[in-house]
Amino acid sequence: MRHIGVLDARQRTAAIGTRESGDPMNRIYQYHGFEIAVAVEADFGWKGARGAPVSTGYVAIVKISKADGSVSVFSPLRLGESQGKRFISESDALMSGYSAGRRLVDDLLAS
């Protein structure tokens, strides 16, 4: 997975905090004293000047906070498949976002 876009993450991820964790496109996981919030967003491919969508894929928005939710550890990350491609399903995006969040916690935050 790699970062596939730069955007105003606060606007794009506002839905993570406002939707229920049981929403099919949003999940909040507890992991080693951190909270990993994963939201899935549809990402459309656009065709030329007409602006007609040619394909739909999904990206994962991952936000890592302390377990009490008071302090965000990183700016939210927008993730897709390798080589900048989108995920083909919501469930792929959701689980890949969770896996990436766990790796970040394991590699950078857990002591």
Query: Which residues 6+ apart lie within 8 Å of 104 measured at CB?
Result: 62, 64, 74
Identify which of 4-8, 29-33, 48-52, 106-110 has the greatest average pLDDT: 29-33
Q: Which of 1-5, 45-49, 63-67, 88-92 has the lowest mean pLDDT?
A: 1-5
CA neighbor of 42 nearest in space, from 67, 21, 27, 60: 60
And the tokens for 67?
């377990």
Q: pLDDT at position 18, please?
A: 40
pTM comes to 0.70
- Give the range of the structural domain holding residue 12, as residue numbers without chain letter: 2-109
Q: pLDDT at position 74, please?
A: 80
User: Given pLDDT bands bounded at 50, 70 and 90, which one contains residue 36?
Assistant: very high
Query: Which residues 6+ apart lie within 8 Å of 64 measured at CB?
Result: 34, 35, 36, 37, 72, 73, 74, 101, 104, 105, 109
Q: Is the pLDDT of residue 51 over 80?
A: no
User: How many separate domains does the chain show?
Assistant: 1
User: Given pLDDT bands bounded at 50, 70 and 90, which one contains residue 25?
Assistant: confident
CA neighbor of 74 nearest in space, from 100, 43, 41: 100
Average of per-residue pLDDT across 38-63: 78
* 77-97 pLDDT per residue, tens: 999 888 778 999 999 999 999
And the tokens for 64?
């890592």
Q: Is 29 helix (H, G, I), strand (E, B) or coil?
A: strand
Q: pLDDT at position 111, please?
A: 63
